[in-house]
Amino acid sequence: MTEKMKMNLMFNPEGNDDVAARKIIKGQTTGLFNLNAVKYPWAKSLYQVMIGNFWVPEKVSGLKDDARMFHQDLSPEEQRAYKGILSFLIFLDSIQTVNLPHLSDYVTSPEVNLILAIQAYQEAIHSQSYATILESVVESKERDEIYYFWRTDEILLKRNKYIGNIYENFIKDQTDENFFRAIVANFLLESIYFYNGFAFFDTLVDKMKMLATGRVIAYIRRDELTHITLFANIIREIQHEYPEIYNAEIIKEMMSVAVEQEIEWSKHILGDRIPGMNGETTKDYTEWLANNRLAMLNMGPLYPDAVTNPYKHLDRLQDTNGDKSNFFESTVVNYTQSSSMNGSWDF
């Protein structure tokens, strides 16, 4: 019989908050956030980065210019891709906002619970950002069509069902395997499912189109990179502390499905109709990205021939280290509050 996970007690007088007794899951804490005693140093560092990434979409200027460009400068194919990709991104961040607390209920490291709460907040900001883009760029009569595009698009519905069912399976049946699958699904969602969409927006920006949307996506991508790092670390800690739960074959299986679905969806919504993107580059980019993400889990490549990123322009656009200050001559303001943090969480 598969073992069941146990939800954290909100208050557990019999718990033990000692660092030596702390576990990523299945620990016995009191419920107190004792953040002066940290077992996982990566969580402390990641917390600082995530807090420093604070931003809100209202601070991004230029969406009115994007509204003009959308109607005057984008081809019908680019308009379709713009709306379809937004629909998928809206779904991803919506389900993340709702699902993360369910997973956090079973994580027994207070420092990791803390950054999961920050991630949930960031996902809510992303949802607000997409709403702001739609309100600014797209006519009101089209907004519901974009939000609910998955109801009529078979390929998008299949994708949404796949990730949604994994999350629902854990909520309904909290087995070790269902939890591990849900954690892996989070890693794949953050590290694979967003990125052909991001590449589309970056490709538009490379052609000096939809620059304000590109700035919003740059902020979102910066957040997502921390979310990828968070779940990669959780998976590695499970491998170390609970090798009987960790399953490399599940990771490979789910990664293969994610790659196949991402390629199918991207070819469907982008096809060969977007200048600079086509079915071949979509496949090469997704497989290269999958190998890169697996390396974060200390796993070998699934696609040995995918060794280079076909989108060379992404390297100069993507803010992967959080240090760049300009995005096509438009200032990207880093709303940092980390200077207000004192004590052992400084570094």
Does residue 38 have a pLDDT over 70? yes
User: Could you list the residue range(s) of the whole structural domain that residue 77 is in?
Assistant: 57-323
Q: Which one of 45-49, 255-259, 323-327, 338-342 scores highest in mean pLDDT?
A: 255-259
- Both tokens assigned to 137: 């760029």
Q: How far is Cα 154 from Cα 29, in angstroms, rounded to an integer?
A: 45
Is the CB of residue 217 less than 8 Å from the CB of residue 202? yes
Give domain status of residue 38, yes or no.
Answer: no
The pLDDT tens digits for 161-211 are 999 999 999 999 999 999 999 999 999 999 999 999 999 999 999 999 999
Give domain status of residue 272, yes or no.
Answer: yes
Does residue 314 have a pLDDT over 90? no
- Both tokens assigned to 131: 């709403």
Q: Which one of 29-33, 212-216, 342-346 scores highest in mean pLDDT?
A: 212-216
Give domain status of residue 71, yes or no.
Answer: yes
327 DSSP β-pair partners = 330
Average pLDDT on 324-331 reads 33
Give domain status of residue 234, yes or no.
Answer: yes
User: In this predicted structure, what is the pLDDT of residue 315?
Assistant: 75
The domain that holds 81 is classified in CATH as: 1.10.620.20
Average pLDDT on 14-18 reads 91
Q: How far is Cα 22 from Cα 24, in angstroms, rounded to an integer?
A: 7
- What whole-number percentage of the chain has pLDDT above 90? 81
User: In this predicted structure, what is the pLDDT of residue 335?
Assistant: 30
User: In this predicted structure, what is the pLDDT of residue 2?
Assistant: 64
User: In this predicted structure, what is the pLDDT of residue 318?
Assistant: 60
Is the CB of residue 217 less than 8 Å from the CB of residue 196? no
326 DSSP β-pair partners = 331
Is the CB of residue 170 less than 8 Å from the CB of residue 179? yes
Going by pLDDT thresholds of 50, 70 and 90, the confidence category of residue 341 is: very low
The pLDDT tens digits for 109-128 are 999 999 999 999 999 999 99
Respond yes or no: is residue 246 known to be catalytic: no
Going by pLDDT thresholds of 50, 70 and 90, the confidence category of residue 4 is: confident
What pTM, to 2 d.p., does this model score? 0.90
Going by pLDDT thresholds of 50, 70 and 90, the confidence category of residue 346 is: very low
User: In this predicted structure, what is the pLDDT of residue 9?
Assistant: 87
Give domain status of residue 139, yes or no.
Answer: yes
Give domain status of residue 167, yes or no.
Answer: yes
- Asked whether the CA dihedral 163, 169, 171, 172 is positive or negative, the reply is positive
The CA-based angle 282-265-322, given to 5 degrees, is 60
Q: Given 40, 130, 167, 193, which residue is catalytic?
A: 130
Number of domain units in the chain: 1
Going by pLDDT thresholds of 50, 70 and 90, the confidence category of residue 327 is: very low
Q: How far is Cα 274 from Cα 276, in angstroms, rounded to an integer?
A: 6
Going by pLDDT thresholds of 50, 70 and 90, the confidence category of residue 345 is: very low
Give domain status of residue 256, yes or no.
Answer: yes
Give domain status of residue 62, yes or no.
Answer: yes
User: In this predicted structure, what is the pLDDT of residue 272?
Assistant: 87
Average pLDDT on 15-25 reads 92
Average pLDDT on 144-149 reads 93
User: In this predicted structure, what is the pLDDT of residue 59?
Assistant: 85
